[in-house]
Amino acid sequence: MQMIYSAQEMNRTIQQLKEKGQTIGFVPTMGYLHEGHQSLIRHAKAMCDIVVLSIFVNPAQFGPNEDFETYPRDIKRDKIIAEKEGVNIVFNPNVDEMYPLGESMLVTVKDRVDVLCGSSRPGHFDGVATILVKLFNIVMPDKVFFGLKDAQQVAVVDSMIKNFHYPIQLVPCQTIREKDGLAKSSRNIRLSSDERKEAVHLYQGLKEGLLLVNKGERSAAHIKSQVTLYLETHLRLGKIDYVEVLGYPDLQSKELLNGRFIIACAVQYEHARLIDNIVANVNNKLEGEPYAANINEK
């Protein structure tokens, strides 16, 4: 496994690989790898000749009162996991490498960001899009792999690839969960034991909404109210940030659901903010990969 720290060396290495006809699969991460990241790596290995994993905690996507300084980091552990999973190249730049002129130029995202996490984190997706533009230009991947756990991010990346005419295939992958249903996240380690036990209700509440859809309910407002009621009933330690039921991937409000949709929530605990969602289709009622194959269809 090759470790690369400079953008210039990364770009030069990719150009050499492409000259040999190698396809590049890219998994962008902020490190502290877990089973969700490992799943993305495995998808990339199955679909591409070369797997590039980036590890970079991006300051531009953290707000002034968010957890950039305390975001979990363990590069030694990440390298062991990456090598075990068969990653070919780990790109691990520092902040000066990725922002040589500071944050003097940022991408502004205008669509798909005024709901869900974007509504309470102004500028967050500008930071996400900015670092992805940089990474896409450096790594030049053929396919890029993201987890549907952050479905809004997937929707923004989908729009970004189309708007900037990147010759990249977006491959969304299903959320990886603990045995009790809690979505895998680097932030889960910050939960107290009681919070961890309670957090399983995020997914349970979302499933209550999906059950209503499966029974024929199409009113987004009613589904949202029932999911909210479930969470209010079962959460004692966590505070609901939002519950939303929207079209997907456009993230537009709908009176009645049709086609693809997302049921999503965010809950704030003392030291961790958790997000979760279910992406499905009123026609096939499937979550994750069966849906993900169609994400770039209009």
Determine contact, residues 121/63, Cβ cutoff 8 Å: yes
Q: What is the biggest distance separating any 2 CA atoms in the chain, rounded to whole angstroms?
A: 58
The reply to whether 176 sits in an annotated binding site is: yes
Angle at 138 between CA 71 and CA 21, to 5 degrees: 125
Do 53 and 91 contact (CB within 8 A), yes or no?
yes
- Ligand-binding annotation for 165, yes or no, is no
Taking the C-alpha atoms of residue 175 and residue 289, their distance in angstroms, rounded to an integer, is 9
| 253 labelled binding-site residue | no
252 is in an annotated binding site: no
Q: Which two tokens stand for residue 186?
A: 């680097």
Taking the C-alpha atoms of residue 212 and residue 227, their distance in angstroms, rounded to an integer, is 10
Q: Of the listed 37, 43, 124, 201, which one is catalytic?
A: 37
Long-range CB contacts for residues 118-126, cutoff 8 Å, separation at least 24: 118/152, 119/242, 120/241, 120/242, 120/266, 121/63, 121/66, 122/63, 123/63, 124/61, 124/62, 124/63, 125/61, 125/152, 125/153, 125/156, 126/60, 126/61
The response to whether 38 counts as a known ligand-binding position is no
Check if the beta carbon of residue 151 is closer than 8 Å to that of residue 279.
yes
238 is in an annotated binding site: no
**134 appears as a binding residue in the annotation:** no
36 is known to lie in a ligand binding site: yes
152 labeled part of a ligand binding site:
no
Could you give the CA distance from residue 279 to residue 247 in angstroms, rounded to a whole number? 9
The SS3 assignment for 234 reads: helix
Q: Is 24 annotated as a binding residue?
A: no
Q: Is 2 annotated as a binding residue?
A: no
Residue 201 a catalytic site member: no
Q: Environment class of residue 71 by beta-carbon count within 10 Å: exposed (0-12), middle (13-18) or buried (19+)?
A: middle
Annotated binding residue 184: yes
147 labeled part of a ligand binding site: yes
Q: Could you tell me which residues are annotated as the binding site for ATP?
A: 30-37, 147-150, 176, 184-187
Residues recognised as catalytic: 37
Q: Could you tell me which residues are annotated as the binding site for beta-alanine?
A: 61
Q: Could you tell me which residues are annotated as the binding site?
A: 30-37, 61, 147-150, 153, 176, 184-187
